[in-house]
Structure 1
Amino acid sequence: MNPDHLFLHSKSGSKLQVLYLNNKAKYTVIFSHGNAEDIYLVQSWLESYFLKQIHVNAVVYEYTGFGEANGRMPMDTSLYADIETVYLYLTDQLGIDPSTILAYGRSIGSGPSCFLGERYPLAGVILHSPIASALRVIFDLRWTLPFDKFPNIDRVKHIGCPIFVIHGRRDEIVPFKHAVMLHENSKVKYPPYYVDGAGHNNVEKYAAEYLPKIKEFLEYIESKEAGVINASEEKAVGLVRSVMDVEKQ
């Protein structure tokens, strides 16, 4: 598969490198990679493994400060701007229906994925070896501190589409309990996939059911047609209903 190699102007002010693998599929997945990866590693993984069994379109973008993307070293706000730029390109420029877009975040990529899911309509979110927040990787915190980064534990409470959590039970980098907390706090829960024996970077090697589980999640989304309402839209709907109730009185 020959991907479209794009350079977009990120909302962060940087030039954003994007690979778009058009598989002529119904669903499009935005992949946010881990800290030790780049888009070419993800592209190789997608073409040699993932896309051979999962029929979706795939979009991979390089974080500001990584690879060929220019700019300063990546910050959480830069990653948020990057994924937002990709999403708006898909919806506004390519005309892709938001109800057919999923966010897939691995490790630190769970941060921008949760950010996107909280603010924009999506069909679903997949969190692979995710973090509850940056500081929680190091400290056992009960509450999110004001200066913490990637507060996914708080954002999943407001994401209006199904969230599928995948995590190795022997993750040596991100404690397994992060996955449990994220699942338990998700507004729209989907059965998690906890992989026995797997660490942070080898879930696929231990998980014969990894790809079938992804397929099941896509089938669930399609059958339910779920996940196209985000928190902001829900508030708007609630406000309209309240006004209508007042007018009826």
Structure 2
Amino acid sequence: MGSATSSMAAKFAFFPPDPPSYNLSVDESTGKMRISDVHQREDVDVMKLSTKKGNEIVAMYVKNPSASLTLLYSHGNAADLGQMHHIFTELSLHLGVNLMGYDYSGYGQSNGKPSEQDTYADIEAAYKCLEEKYGVKEEDIILYGQSVGSGPALELAIRLPHLRAVILHSPILSGLRVMYPVKRTFWFDIYKNIDKIPFVNCPVLVIHGTEDEVVDFSHGKQLWELCREKYEPLWLKGGNHCNLELYPEYLKHLRKFISAVEKLPPIQNVTEQGTDQQECPSKTTDQNTEKARSSTDHKEKSRPSTGQREKSRLSTDKSRTSTDRREKSRKSIDRSGKARNSTDQTERARNSFDRLGDMVRSVGLCNVDCLKQAASEA
């Protein structure tokens, strides 16, 4: 029954580009694998990774010689590496990070069929590659989950106690909640992010557009409310599901966040209680999580879902012991993080923002094929 339900959910949840936007080739002179129809770069490695589910997925790694942190990026729906290639290289350059991106099973030139469990195996394979091939440490990784990619990102986040940070871009509370405003978790739901977010031990940045027509703005706000380690969120007034990269505030806020978490010493100790809690999300019915959701639902009713200023902090969880230095760093960063009005019309985009915005428009990047309309209007 569970397998049949998962297969049915996959038909509604996953929309790989058909046909894929790219092909793979091998450079005869170097023997390196390449993605077709993109500018070939020496700082990009393309590879195939085997997952524990028996699939081979395509991944790309963008190297930045000045980087101290690595972004592991789980992209949104209806996209693949052919479309994301330029975005990934630009983010690596302008954020000063290494970046690993990958296609889910059944997306692009990755074989197999997409499912919730397969995406978990996919991100696990990408993470394993970072550790074993590139020598990246857990405490130097930031997980980035966009839209449906928030599912595999949070699944991995609750299993990595020393993770540096998490970024959620237009995230979902769960698959079912995208379609129906249900107040409880059902066993057949997928990507139960609402049950997992309280168990993430590192700083979390949430980015969401206030006019998101696919994943309602309330999803991002509620996930932010449930975070242990809240960081100043970015609510983009007027932003929809597919155009947040076009806002100059997008890169500015990402830069600010990465600069902040770079200064945080890695987590050295996690209490037994914290470790035990990380196992709880797999049950998805933890009573404490239900209480937190209930409280958050009440708050959502009491205030409008607009892009107003949000005061945030990097909260300190009492059940976890961290070094004094890390706590002082968080408090210092919190005091310096002033809530911003993300609708400042007088602010002009820098050249780097313009380049990224033009790139988003040029590839027609979109999680559910809606950016094409936004691009034509622009």
Tell me the TM-score normalized by structure 2: 0.59
1:116-160, Cα deviation, whole Å (9 max, x unpaired): 101123111100011010000011111111111001111111011
Is it true that 1:133 corresponds to 2:174 in the alignment? yes
**Alpha-carbon separation, structure 1, partners of 2:184 and 2:266:** 30
Match of 1:117 in 2: 157
Alignment counterpart, residue 275 of structure 2, candidates 218, 235, 242: 235
Query: Residue 88 of structure 2 contacts residue 101 of structure 2 at CA under 8 Å; is this kept in 1?
Result: no
| 1:84 matches 2:124 | yes
Matches within 5 A, 1:68-217: 68-72=109-113, 74-120=114-160, 121-205=162-246, 207-217=247-257
Q: Per the alignment, in what secondary structure is the counterpart of residue 105 of structure 1?
A: strand
- Give the match's secondary structure for 1:119: coil
Q: Secondary structure at the match of 2:230?
A: coil
Query: Which residue number corresponds to residue 20 of structure 1?
Result: 61
CA contact (8 A) 2:146 2:169 kept: yes
Deviation, 1:52, is 3.4
Is residue 119–residue 231 contact of structure 1 (8 Å, CA) maintained in 2? Answer: no
Alpha-carbon shift at residue 224 of structure 1 (Å): 2.2
Q: Secondary structure at the match of 1:224?
A: coil
Contact 2:165 2:204 in 1 (8 A): yes
Structure 1 segments (4+ residues) deviating >6 Å? 228-233
2: CA distance between counterparts of 1:220 and 1:165? 15
Query: How far apart, CA to CA, are the structure 1 residues paired with 2:241 and 2:92?
Result: 21
Alignment gaps of 5+ in structure 1: 238-249
Contact 2:76 2:146 (C-alpha < 8 Å) held by counterparts: yes
Structure 1: how far apart are the matches of 2:68 and 2:241? Answer: 30
80, 99, 111: which one aligns with 1:58: 99
CA distance in 2 between partners of 1:57 and 1:137 (Å): 32
| Separation in 1, partners of 2:232, 2:222 | 13
CA distance in 2, matches of 1:230, 1:26: 23
Whether the aligned pair in 2 keeps the contact of 1:17 and 1:62 (CA below 8 Å) is yes
| Residue identity opposite 2:73 in structure 1 | F
**Cα offsets for 1:196-244 (capped at 9, x unmatched):** 1110000122x2111111111111112222567779783369xxxxxxx
**CA–CA separation in structure 2 for the residues paired with 1:30 and 1:229:** 23
The residue type equivalent to 2:82 in the other structure is: Y
* Alignment-derived partner of residue 345 in structure 2: none
Which segment is superposed worse, 181-190 or 226-235?
226-235
Structure 1 length normalisation: TM-score? 0.89
Identity of counterpart residues, as a percentage?
Answer: 36
Aligned pair in 2 of structure 1 residues 227, 140: CA closer, same or farther (>3 Å)? farther
Aligned length: 234
Distance 1:18 1:230 in 2: 31
- When Rg is computed on C-alpha atoms for both structures, the one with the higher figure is 2
